[in-house]
């Protein structure tokens, strides 16, 4: 079973749902994330774990990990989740947390990778899917796909289209490979 962590629109979550992957729980760090609406419409249990309700990040992450385990989650997918995960969370899902990011990591980590690639004058950017560690968009790569920057006016759409194909492919492969 897959648990998806979200913070925003949730188009990558939607791609996982549309691919028929076994998403059993969706957790957000903010209650206004539109991804939560998508999950509820698909009949998937949701919860919000805001920092304001917990003593610190580590405690929040432990409560979130327990909730995911209660929903039989074996693989955690970060789909636009904009908080770093703390070591106590990662220890609960060893080598079972992955992230999708709209750049060719290690280039352009962080919250504005597409703008950063444009500002740097990159001719090629892309999409990465990688295992998550406690760093900012770091951890061993699983796969990458290049996306040419030009034509710039369609770059965002082309990157998202690659994400929406690549992420479900990786998740499906990992589910098939699981013991």
101 is catalytic: yes
Nearer to ligand GAR by Cβ, of 8 and 45: the residue is 8
Binding residues vs ligand GAR (CB under 6 A):
8-12, 35, 79-80, 100-102, 113, 137, 163
Kind and range of the H or E element at 127? strand 124-131
Query: Residue number with the shortest CB distance to ligand GAR?
Result: 80
* Active-site residue identified among 54, 71, 83, 101: 101
Q: What's the CA angle centered on 64, arms 32 and 179, to 5 degrees? A: 120
Q: How far is the CB of 113 from ligand GAR (least distance, A)?
A: 6
Q: Which of 71, 52, 68 is nearest to 60 (CA)?
A: 52
Tell me how far CA of residue 18 lies from CA of 8, 23, 41, in angstroms. Answer: 18, 11, 12
Nearer to ligand GAR by Cβ, of 51 and 156: the residue is 156
Q: How far is the CB of 47 from ligand GAR (least distance, A)?
A: 17
Nearer to ligand GAR by Cβ, of 113 and 168: the residue is 113
Q: Tell how many helices (H) and how many strands (E) occur in the chain.
A: 6, 7
Q: How far is the CB of 68 from ligand GAR (least distance, A)?
A: 18
Category of 16 on φ-ψ map: left (φ > 0), alpha (ψ -120 to 50) or beta: alpha
Q: Which residues are catalytic?
A: 101
């Amino acid at each position: 079973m897959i648990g998806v962590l979200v913070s925003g629109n949730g188009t990558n979550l939607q791609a996982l749902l549309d691919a028929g992957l076994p998403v059993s729980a969706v957790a957000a760090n903010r209650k206004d994330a539109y991804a939560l609406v998508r999950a509820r419409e698909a009949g998937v249990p949701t919860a919000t774990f805001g920092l304001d309700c917990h003593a610190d990040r580590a405690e929040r992450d432990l409560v979130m990990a327990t909730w995911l385990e209660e929903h039989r989650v074996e693989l955690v997918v970060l789909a636009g989740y904009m908080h770093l995960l703390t070591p106590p969370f990662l220890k609960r899902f060893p080598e079972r947390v992955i992230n999708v990011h709209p750049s060719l990591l290690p280039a352009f980590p962080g919250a504005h990778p597409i703008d950063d690639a444009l500002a740097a004058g990159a001719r090629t950017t892309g999409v990465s899917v990688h295992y998550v560690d406690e760093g900012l968009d770091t951890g061993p790569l699983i796969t990458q796909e290049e996306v040419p920057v030009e034509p710039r006016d369609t770059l965002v759409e082309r990157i998202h289209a690659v994400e929406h194909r690549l992420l479900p492919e990786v998740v499906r492969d990992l589910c098939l490979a699981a013991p």
